[in-house]
Structure 1
């Protein structure tokens, strides 16, 4: 008998002696924790999202839907981006004002090819105000996970207030756990033992978030 068989045999005997728990999964863990911290209006929730995004060193812009193409074009121009990666379901109008070459999201693209792209523009699934987190779920307007992890500059559009929630529990209720979820809190960063921060290790060095609602265009930070 191999070591593997002995270990598995012990596990099986231990499980056989364990009492069976017939409690349904949704009742097995108490979920009486706070769903959000404090009471906020919709406008206050959006403001909290913007503040926390900035705290995570994201660059936040505000735009109306009508101004969005010009806003994105200005961001790409300011960055000097000549090429922009485009998910298959991204709204065509969003890039209508930009002269950057559009690079389609292709399954055969290599990491090296993706690394040569200047910027990527996506939508999002939901944004969490209390944590300053953007969640992508691989929908057509967001593309595959790797297109937002390899290019060095990510522009993410958040529809306000429809895609903004206060807390992580509220976000989870909107998300499909079977989808490839990517949780983004600011640009990619890590620190060594000396606490020296290095950005761009596991994803883009620069994250720009556009909050699209009814307000006139304005930068929260730049």
Structure 2
């Protein structure tokens, strides 16, 4: 018997005399909580996202679809990046304007190999305005979780307004809980007991978020 079997055995014994819930899980907890704080237009929701991203020390950029490739190329050049990690499903047009060496997201890549890559570019699954949070779900245009945790520089593209929601409940409705979800609120950071902030401890030191407008953002 291994450790896993021993732990599961203890859990089963502890639950042996616990009656099953009468109500199914999805009905057992009240879901009548507030879904959104206040009433905002689409444009105001996008502005709130940008504000909260910046508050978490992410660097926010804005462009349209036509200017995206040039902007990403400029960000990589300004960073001095010689290599960039590329998820398998990333739109090739996003990197069409840069000559930076592209490194494929491979299952066999070691942490040391990933650490030698300067930057990573991904899309996202959803962006939550009220918390300034970007969520990745491991889709082909986002790649595996570790490619956004090891490199020191992450460029994340958010399609506006289609991928932007106001609140966490609204974001959860768009996500599959069975997928590997990564919730990102600013660059990786931690603080010691004296509240001295250190960035880049368990993720990228620099997070740049590109809000790509894909159409007119209305006021209602």
Aligned to 1:120: 120
Query: Which secondary structure state, in structure 1, belongs to the residue aligned with residue 84 of structure 2?
Result: strand
| Whole-angstrom distance in 2 between the partners of 1:9 and 1:181 | 28
SS in 2 for 1:67: helix
Contact conserved, 2:189 with 2:197, CA < 8 A, in 1?
A: yes
Contact 1:128 1:165 in 2 (8 A): yes
In the alignment, does 2:98 pair up with 1:98?
Answer: yes
Q: Match of 1:158, SS?
A: strand
| Higher Cα Rg, which structure | 1
Shift of residue 152, structure 1, vs aligned partner: 0.1
1:123 CA drift (Å):
0.1
Query: Does the aligned pair in 1 maintain the 2:137–2:181 contact within 8 Å?
Result: yes
The equivalent of 2:81 in structure 1 is 81
In the alignment, which residue of structure 1 is the partner of 2:108?
Answer: 108
- Superposed CA RMSD: 2.0
Q: Provide the residue aligned with 2:207 in structure 1.
A: 207
What 5-or-longer segments of structure 2 have no aligned partner? 1-5, 216-220
- Cα shift at 1:207: 0.1
Say which SS state the counterpart of residue 173 (structure 2) adopts.
helix
SS in structure 2 of the partner of residue 68 of structure 1? helix
The corresponding residue for 1:36 is 36
Aligned with 2:50: secondary structure? Answer: helix
Cα pair distance change 1:32/1:100, threshold 3 Å: same
- Looking at structure 1, the residues matched to 106 and 19 of structure 2 have their Cα atoms a distance apart, in angstroms, of 51
Offset of residue 7 of structure 1: 6.5
- 1:46 corresponds to 2:39: no
Alignment of 1:89-168 (within 5 A): 89-168=89-168
CA contact (8 A) 1:63 1:214 kept: no
Which position in structure 2 is the counterpart of 1:72?
A: 72
- Alpha-carbon contact 1:56-1:185 (below 8 Å) kept: yes
Q: Is the 8 A contact 2:159 2:214 kept in 1?
A: no
2:14 to 4, 11, 14: 11
Between the aligned partners of 1:163 and 1:24, the Cα distance in structure 2 is: 31
Report the CA distance shift for 1:118/1:19 in structure 2 as closer, same or farther (over 3 A): closer
Query: Which residues in structure 2 correspond to 1:164-203 (within 5 Å)?
Result: 164-203=164-203
- TM-score by structure 2 length? 0.91
Query: Equivalents in 1 of 2:68, 2:136: separation in Å?
Result: 20
Q: What secondary structure sits across from 1:44 in the alignment?
A: helix
Is the partner of 1:47 in helix, strand or coil?
helix
Aligned CA distance change for structure 1 residues 144 and 7 (closer, same or farther; 3 Å): closer
Number of residues of Structure 1 aligned to a counterpart in Structure 2 = 210
Aligned CA distance change for structure 1 residues 67 and 194 (closer, same or farther; 3 Å): same
